[in-house]
Amino acid sequence: MRFHRYSITHSTHSFDRQSLIDEELDQIVQVTHSTGETPEYTLSRILQELRDEGIIEFISKGKYIILDTSINIEDEDIK
């Protein structure tokens, strides 16, 4: 998943929606061969689905934390 790549690149388990869109959306569209007119809204819907599945957790406006890997909470900025 692209948020895992973002996490590794930035050495964090938290990410915000807009940064993920800014850095990964073009690659996501290319890999998925998306032809939709609003891929950023599709990404938001998928983030909601991943939240519902317990893979990520919403922690504040537009900010998420990845739950499917171990987290060193002292290293995270979850404000």
pTM over 0.75: no
Q: Is residue 78 part of a domain?
A: no
The pLDDT tens digits of the residues spanning 17-51 come to: 899 888 888 887 888 777 778 888 888 888 999 99
Q: Give a yes or no: residue 79 inside a domain.
A: no
Residue 77 falls inside a structural domain = no
Position 52 scores a pLDDT of: 95
- Cβ atoms of 64 and 47 within 8 Å: the answer is yes
DSSP state at residue 43: H
Domain span including residue 15: 2-72
Taking 60 as the threshold, does the pLDDT of residue 78 lie above it?
A: no
pLDDT band for 54, please (50, 70, 90 cuts): very high
Domain count, the chain: 1
2-10 and 17-32 helices, crossing angle to 10°? 130
43 CB burial (10 A radius; 0-12, 13-18, 19+): buried
Query: What CATH number corresponds to the domain at position 33?
Result: 1.10.10.10
- Phi and psi at 16, nearest 5°, equal -110, 150
